Amino acid sequence: MLRKIITALALLFVQTVFSQANLYNPSIDVQHYEFNIKVSDNNDSLYGRAIITVRFTEKTNTVRFDLVSINDTGRGMIVTGVKENNQNVAFVHSQNMVNIVSSKLTSVDEIRKFEITYKGIPADGLIFSKNKFKHRTIFADNWPNRGKNWIPCKDHLSDKAGVDFIVTAPDHYQVVSNGIKVEETNLPDQLRLTHWREDVPLPTKIMVVGIADFAVDYPGETNGIPVSSWIFPEQKEKGFYDYAQALDILPFYIKNVGPYSYKKLANVQSKTIFGGMENAGAIFYSESSVSGTRKSESLLAHEIAHQWFGDAATEIDWPHLWLSEGFATEMTHLYLESKYGVDTLIKSLKKDRTTVLAFTKKTKLPVVDTISKNMELLNTNSYQKGGWILQMLRNQLGDVVFWKSVQQYYAAYRGKNASTKDLQKIFEQVSGKDLQAFFIQWLYTGENPTLLVNWSYDENKKEVSLTVTQQTAKLFELPLEIALGDKTYTLSLSKKEQQFSFPVKTKPSKPELDPGCKLLFEAVVKEETK
């Protein structure tokens, strides 16, 4: 009992700390961004003008935005002017912040607009590079909070806002971004202005532009959502074939999770540092994702799943990243199961289980991790273990309750931010079960179950006896399935050592643990001879 009380108090402390995550830059709630960006082929400089509409949540006479300052290599942004409601105001740009002295004290819920003009060579976030065909490309790559390298913003995932990108670039480029294209105008000097608008509020981590030579294909629509493929011209046939699989993937998530939140889905071959980046309505994939063999189906399924989990329903803070990556991992498995069968699911789960167990041996970190840096959270805990946790919820609650819980979670937090506790509450409400122990042991414990199973066969009694010993410091509550011959039993484990016995017709070669691959654990099975 004392162990349970201490664990519950620790969990309460963790959840209390995380509930403060939305206090990042608390005086403002950004309503809308308009970014006017100009780039050229002559250099890697950016000229920008940002118009930021802000709702104030408290009385203040200052406001601040994230924007990386010039560093020792000469990279970074220089602010050349700031206006508030079209009037010049005082500002200081230092230590990666634009601090603005407002013209007068604000009132709560007051709306004001700030215009920031700036220029520079981005240190990160907007990447000027060349693709594998040696053509110049310019791609935004904001995750996790690298947007501030090229756009003034409130660079935290707890603040969502609509965004317009108005890009002026050489006219040989195509420009892709979030939302829908509202203007494309040829300008003098072989330039073109392209204007994209996204009215659905987004966190800055998924606000992007892609500027490159593209071939563009429109393979069709799903539920009225236009799907497009943006491919480097040298691979257009292969890329159009590969990326068209999005037309099969979208309906699965719409049917099983809920409505798609954006007005289009563009799948873009790019120069992201990641294998894929789930930018809202404009997913960026690595340039190696195109092969003409559709080898990237699981990658497409993963990034498209993020449009629901991570983009629309967004984690409240970085320690809850599993709500994005774990969901995308599990949804990918479930999509592939629906298409190829349960054997495909089991194969993926076994592979992920091996990865998780190896990871835990190296570092005993909980999934909801308050210590790691943001980039360090892109680890096995967030992906494979997060996916396994959702799969175990599915196993314990059944398909009907599981999918209903997922749907209600998405409906409740679509366009909002959620914590792990928020997800737990939804699953508890739908299932009618207390899931506190489940969430504590799988998400706030830096271990996985390790079992020693000693077994013996009694010829006289025609009986198999088992002694199951939990070998971790944390005692888990587990439903462990065991197959003996043609029968399968479920053992309810919760103590350090438990004994079980089962009638059998003949001696089995060996008890088979978890024959359906339903549990994240490892075990050593030993036969005792008498």
pLDDT, tens digit, 9 for 90 and up, residues 328-343: 999 999 999 999 999 9
Class of domain 24-127+139-203: mainly beta
pLDDT at 530 (0 to 100): 61
Q: Residue 253 — φ and ψ, nearest 5°? A: -75, -35
Percent pLDDT > 70 in the chain is 96
Residue 342's CB is within 10 A of a number of other CB atoms, namely 11
pLDDT of the residue at 249: 98
Assess contact for 494 and 451: CB atoms under 8 A.
no
Residue 130 tokens, joined: 């060349």
pLDDT band at 272 (very low <50, low <70, confident <90, very high): confident
**What is the tens place of the pLDDT at every residue in 436-459?**
999 999 999 999 999 999 999 999
Assigned token pair, 134? 């040696």
Mean pLDDT on 106-127: 97
b (16+ CB within 10 A) / e for 161-175: bbbbbbbbbeeebbb
Is residue 15 predicted with pLDDT exceeding 60? no
The whole-number average pLDDT for the span 392-410 is 98
Residue 141 reports pLDDT greater than 50: yes
Among residues 371, 378, 497, 519, the alpha carbon closest in space to that of 444 is found at: 371
Q: Are 477 and 449 in contact (CB under 8 A)?
A: no
CATH 1.10.390.10 in the chain, residues? 214-312, 314-443
CATH number of 214-312: 1.10.390.10
CB-based contact 219:236 (threshold 8 Å) = no
The helix/strand/coil state of 53 is: strand
pLDDT at 1 over 70: no
DSSP for 397-463, please give it.
Answer: H-HHHHHHHHHHHHHHHTTSEE-HHHHHHHHHHHH-S--HHHHHHHHS-S---EEEEEEEEETTTTE
Peptide bond into 144 cis (omega under 30): yes
Task: Give CATH 2.60.40.1730 domain extents, the chain.
Answer: 24-127+139-203
DSSP one-letter code for 42: S
pLDDT of 12 > 90? The answer is no
Closest by alpha carbon to 382, among 321, 332, 431, 331?
Answer: 321
What average pLDDT does the structure give for the chain?
94
Q: What is the pLDDT of residues 287-326, one digit of tens each?
A: 999 999 999 999 999 999 999 999 999 999 999 999 999 9
Please state, in angstroms and as integers, the Cα–Cα distance from residue 421 to each residue in 154, 391, 418, following that order.
25, 18, 8
The pLDDT value recorded for residue 4 is 43
pLDDT band at 5 (very low <50, low <70, confident <90, very high): very low
Check whether 220 has a pLDDT greater than 80: yes
Tell me the CATH number for domain 314-443: 1.10.390.10
Residue with tokens 């350090």: 496
pLDDT tens track for 173-219: 999 999 999 999 999 999 999 999 999 999 999 999 999 999 999 99
* Location of each CATH 2.60.40.1840 domain in the chain: 450-527
Q: What is the dihedral of CA 169, 170, 175, 181, to 10 degrees?
A: 70
By CB atoms closer than 10 A (0-12, 13-18, 19+), residue 279 is: buried
Q: Is the pLDDT of residue 169 over 50?
A: yes
Q: Is the confidence at residue 152, as pLDDT, over 70?
A: yes
Which of the listed CATH numbers 2.40.50.140, 3.40.50.300, 2.40.170.20, 2.60.40.1840 matches domain 450-527?
Answer: 2.60.40.1840
pLDDT band, residue 10 (cuts 50/70/90): very low
CB 319 within 8 A of CB 369: yes
**pLDDT of 9 higher than 80:** no
Confidence at residue 3, expressed as pLDDT on a 0 to 100 scale: 42
